[in-house]
Amino acid sequence: MSRGRRIALAALAALACGGCGEVDEIVVAISTDLAVPKDFDVLQVQVFEGNQGKFNRPYRRLGESDAEAQLPATLGFFSSDAGGESIRIKVAARNKDDVGPVRILREVVTTIPKDRVALLTVSLDFLCDGSGQAAGSDVERALCDEGQTCVAGACVPSEIDSSTLPDYSSRAAYGGGDGECFDVTACFADATPAEVDTAGCSIAGDGAAPRNVALETAGGDGICDGDEGDEDRRCLVALNADSDNGFRVEADGRIQLPPAVCEQMAEGKIADVLTAPATGCAQKTAGLPTCGPWLAPGSEEP
């Protein structure tokens, strides 16, 4: 799936369109911190205007040579009536096929912007594993109430004001626009577990030096540095810096983790939290995708 895939809300026409003239558009950029096809292999995208379904498609065989989509995956939804339409977007990570088990569901309610192309980043993250469930070919919430969605393991309002979204750029969606990516296993090769303050769910920082943070999963989810069965194998989920679905550095220098990290450590789903200096590697951000066979090349501007 490339940036050229654009869908008109009224006509439901998918256009192979490089540089078309419509400007009332929202581009949905879908990413994940998991590994495909190991952790999930089907991406399902649904769009509704009111109660009317406007778009529903599963993209299968993620991470394979004949994948129907690469990540970050982008879809552009443009207005047929000068913008302003309210839409609900559902993005799900599924296994096997479009009626298979659901691991993660993310929902966003927003509007098509007027007179510009806006970027909406939707991340399917490990901390929200279990947030969706299958209802045949449909997907239902399994964790959050109506009007809410899972971000960083917590239920938050699903509505986003499109006026707060940045303008679309390939640099923001595709790791600098040149296919740049974050090599999780290399960047955390020498990382050691950090001491987690479970009361506040934070770890010590390193002064002004930027750091990367990863979760070592206990069940084999994430990007692994060895084959299954290897004694020293670690499977990691890299967190985005300065992000609602990642970590933030507080004024006192401590690194604040999502509360769900400590909850899932207590449940035995997360084994450790690792940190590494962002020196030989760039700092992981929402706009820098992880490296892997799922990686999409850079995209042209609309």
pLDDT, tens digit, 9 for 90 and up, residues 50-62: 888 989 999 999 9
- Summarised one tens digit per residue, pLDDT across range 152-187 is 999 999 999 999 999 998 878 776 545 689 999 999
Q: Does 1 score more than 70 pLDDT? A: no
CA distance 125 to 216: 14
6 or 17, greater pLDDT: 6
Q: SS3 for 260?
A: helix
- The alpha carbon dihedral of 120, 125, 131, 137 has a sign of positive
CA distance 286 to 122: 10
Q: SS3 for 213?
A: strand
- Summarised one tens digit per residue, pLDDT across range 209-267 is 789 999 999 999 999 998 777 878 999 999 999 988 899 999 888 999 999 999 999 99
CA distance 184 to 168: 26
Note the pLDDT of residue 2: 41
Report pTM.
0.88
CA distance 256 to 229: 33
At 132, the amino acid letter reads: G
Question: What does the mean pLDDT of the chain come to?
Answer: 87
- Summarised one tens digit per residue, pLDDT across range 119-137 is 999 999 999 999 999 988 8
Domain spans of the chain, in order of start: 5-177, 184-277
Read off the DSSP letter of residue 295. B
- Percent of residues, the chain, with pLDDT higher than 90: 66
Compute the 3-state secondary structure of the chain and give helix, strand, coil in percent, each to the nearest 5: 10, 40, 50
Note the pLDDT of residue 179: 60
Note the pLDDT of residue 16: 29
DSSP H or E run through 108: strand 102-111
Q: Does 28 score more than 70 pLDDT? A: yes
Taking residues 61-81, what's their average pLDDT?
Answer: 89
Query: Peptide bond preceding 297: is omega within 30 degrees of 0, i.e. cis?
Result: no
Question: Which among 251, 252, 232, 240 has a CA at the least distance from the CA of 215?
Answer: 240
At 125, the amino acid letter reads: D
105 or 209, greater pLDDT: 105
Classify the phi-psi angles of 135: left when phi > 0, otherwise alpha if psi is within -120 to 50, otherwise beta. beta
The CATH number of the structural domain formed by 5-177 is 2.60.40.10
Taking residues 59-79, what's their average pLDDT?
Answer: 91
CA atoms within a 13 Å half-sphere pointing along the CA-CB vector of 10: 6
Strand order in the sheet with 255-256: 202-203, 255-256, 248-249
Q: Does 17 score more than 90 pLDDT? A: no
99 or 192, greater pLDDT: 192
Note the pLDDT of residue 178: 56
